[in-house]
Structure 1
Amino acid sequence: MFVIIGYVFMCVCILGAYAWHGGHLAVLWQPSEIVIIFGGGIGAMIAGYGSSLKSVMKAIPSIFKGSAYSKAFYMDLFALMYEILSKVRKEGLMSIEGDVENPDASPLFSKYATVAKDHHVIEFICDYLRLMVGGNLNAFEIENLMDVEIEAHHHEAEVPAQFMAKLADGLPAFGIVAAVMGVVHTMGSLHLPPSELGKLIGAALVGTFMGIWLAYGFFGPLATVLETKVNEGTRVFQTIKVTLLASLNGYAPQVAVEFGRKAMESHMRPSFLELEEHVKNKKG
């Protein structure tokens, strides 16, 4: 939603101010310039990110959606973690073996549909609960393994944001390419009257304008949005990591969940009493 609002506000201000001073918007429509800029930029990105295009295309729709990791998601995540760790504390680690081996069929996981539909989160939780059940790794070793996996996941998820950032960086240069080609065309048309030459020069300069406008007005912000979403996903894994490690180090479930709550960003973090009440209601 904010992406669309930002685009509309930007276009109204830029194009509106141009038209207010007598500029003709039709002059900005130069299909050949747009083809050069987009064709050059996207072609270069295909050459550099060809093997990652699938992940880029998959990430694009998420730009126009809200965050998948809302406060409600975290509340359910903590409630799930609390139930799992409470079961472990009362019945032992072996009591959750069936849950972690087949989370889709687990009543415990299916109770929290908001969390259960995120297979990356469920896989992360189950993998480390499985290691805890095995009992062959200590807290330090598990923490190190978690850090390695979180870093790998972060770098993989960063690819679409890097794609957009590189595309934004390249578009002004391709705008200059379009402008130079327009000037070359103009130089070959010096026999035309000044009025016609003016149109050709204006069309060439549109290439520079379009390259800069598309880069900083459209694709640059998309890179920022995608980077923000990557960081939000990484924060979820960090929260789970802190909670599980606190439990592994002997803290009670309610304390372990409190560790996880403290790992959240402040603008989304529920209060202690708010989370406690939610956990009790879910468990009940």
Structure 2
Amino acid sequence: MIGILGIVVIFIMVFGGYILAGGKLGIILKSLPFEMMMIGGAAAGAFMISNDMAGVKHTLKDIGKVFKGPKWKPEDYRDLLCLLFALIRLARQNPVAIEQHIEGPENSDIFSRYPKILADKEAVSLICDTIRSASMNYDDPHQVEEVLEKRMEANMHHAMHSSHALQTVADGLPALGIVAAVLGVIKTMGSIDQPPEVLGKMIGGALVGTFLGVFLAYGLVGPFAAKVKTVVEEDGHFYQLIREVLVANLHNHVAAICIEVGRQNTPSHMRPGYSELEEALKAAKQDAA
């Protein structure tokens, strides 16, 4: 919602200020389709050249994050802590019984209590792989932690591709605007024998290209890239929480301490309160019983 509001504010402030200053939209509207074709088309072509098909699809999909915001909400962090508590508790009580849950999470009654987490393949894979590692009796928990860190860095690098791709387009838009403006000037110079009022409109139309390139770069595409980056980083905390709790488990801390480590490492605006989490854990225990 705030993304849509921001776009509306940009257009009202820019074009509203132009109109209030005495500017006329006629010349902009007349030139806009052709300038947008040149600038937008060149930007789209450059985007396709610099990315493979998977990268193009990934970026187009991630644009929705500008308007949807982070995937994981405060209640999801609470549910994740409850899920990890149930799994750690079962692994400590019955190491054999935990195997059916980590080998077939889609059929697990523990995972099925949290369908949103179960639907995220990376979260489920991260949980199951790490618990499986714990069952292999690793002598050095730091080794598992290092593997998890590298895995999460690789995932973050992949997730950031959309932001980098959009920022590259934003960086190129002002130059493409200049290209369109130069073409407009060339067109004007070919009509140099026309009267001043005609030449003035032609030069104004050429300058629309420069305006449009800068406006799109710093008013829309650049902020889109920044927002996608922010959302990806925000969602990354969810997977970091998995690592913190399960690494604490590898150090043989009691289950309650492992969960508290995770709660303390949750971002403050997403962190469940201590009492709230206690109630959720009690409810999870009752459901398991």
Instruction: Quickly name the TM-score band, shorter chain normalised.
Output: over 0.9
Q: Which of residues 233, 236, 239 in structure 2 aligns to 1:234?
A: 236
Is 1:87 equivalent to 2:102 in the alignment? no
> Would the aligned equivalents of 1:161 and 1:227 in 2 still touch at CA under 8 Å?
yes
Structure 2 CA distance, aligned partners of 1:106 and 1:18? Answer: 61
Superposed, 1:120-159 pairs within 5 Å as 120-136=122-138, 138-159=140-161
144-153 vs 119-128, which moves further: 119-128
1:44 deviation in Å?
A: 1.2
Paired with 1:49 and 1:160, the residues of 2 have a C-alpha distance of 10
Letter in 1 for 2:264: K
1:53 aligned to which of 22, 38, 56: 56
Where do residues 63-212 of structure 1 align in structure 2 (5 Å cutoff)? 63-91=66-94, 93-136=95-138, 138-212=140-214
How much does 1:137 deviate?
A: 5.7
> Where does residue 38 of structure 1 map in the other structure?
40
Distance (whole Å) between structure 2 residues aligned to residue 7 and residue 60 of structure 1 = 14
1:26 aligned onto 2:30: no
- What's the secondary structure of 1:94's corresponding residue? coil
What is the rounded CA distance, in whole Å, between the counterparts of 2:134 and 2:267 in structure 1?
A: 27
Displacement of 1:250 after TM fit? 1.0
- Map Cα deviations across residues 229-276 of structure 1 (whole Å, 9 max, x no partner): 211232111111010011110111111011111211112212222212
Deviations 1:14-64 (A, max 9, x none): 111111122122321221111111111121111111242121122222332
**Contact kept? 2:70, 2:232, Cα under 8 Å:** no
Partner residue, 1:274: 276
Question: What is the letter of the counterpart of residue 216 of structure 1?
Answer: Y
Aligned-partner Cα distance in 1 for 2:123–2:144 = 17
In 1, Cα distance between equivalents of 2:139 and 2:25: 66
RMSD: 1.3
SS of 1:49's equivalent? coil
Determine the C-alpha separation between the residues in 2 that align with 1:149 and 1:178: 44
Q: Which residue does 2:6 correspond to in 1? A: 6
CA distance in 1, matches of 2:139, 2:183: 63
Unaligned runs of 5+ in 2: none
| CA–CA distance in structure 2, aligned partners of residues 114 and 253 of structure 1 | 23
SS at match of 2:19: helix
Cα 1:137–1:119 shift into 2, 3 Å = farther
Tell me how many residue pairs correspond in the alignment: 283
Alignment-mate amino acid for residue 153 of structure 2: E
- How big is the shift at 1:136? 4.2
Q: What is the match of residue 15 of structure 1? A: 15
Q: In the alignment, what sits opposite 1:223?
A: 225
TM-score of the aligned structures, taking structure 2 as reference length: 0.94
- CA distance in 2 between partners of 1:214 and 1:66 (Å): 21
Contact 2:73 2:270 in 1 (8 A): yes
Instruction: Flag structure 1 segments of 5+ consecutive residues without an equivalent.
Output: none
| 8 Å CA contact retained: 1:175, 1:210 | yes
Larger CA deviation: 58-67 vs 117-126: 58-67
Worse-superposed segment, 121-130 or 53-62? 53-62
CA contact (8 A) 2:48 2:56 kept: yes
Moved over 6 A (4+): none
Would the aligned equivalents of 2:237 and 2:266 in 1 still touch at CA under 8 Å?
Answer: yes
- Which deviates more from structure 2 when the two are superposed, residues 79-88 or residues 114-123? 114-123
Counterpart contact for 1:99–1:108, Cα < 8 Å: yes
Letter in 2 for 1:181: L
TM-score for the superposition, normalised by structure 1 = 0.96
Quote the Cα distance in structure 2 between the aligned partners of 1:58 and 1:20: 37
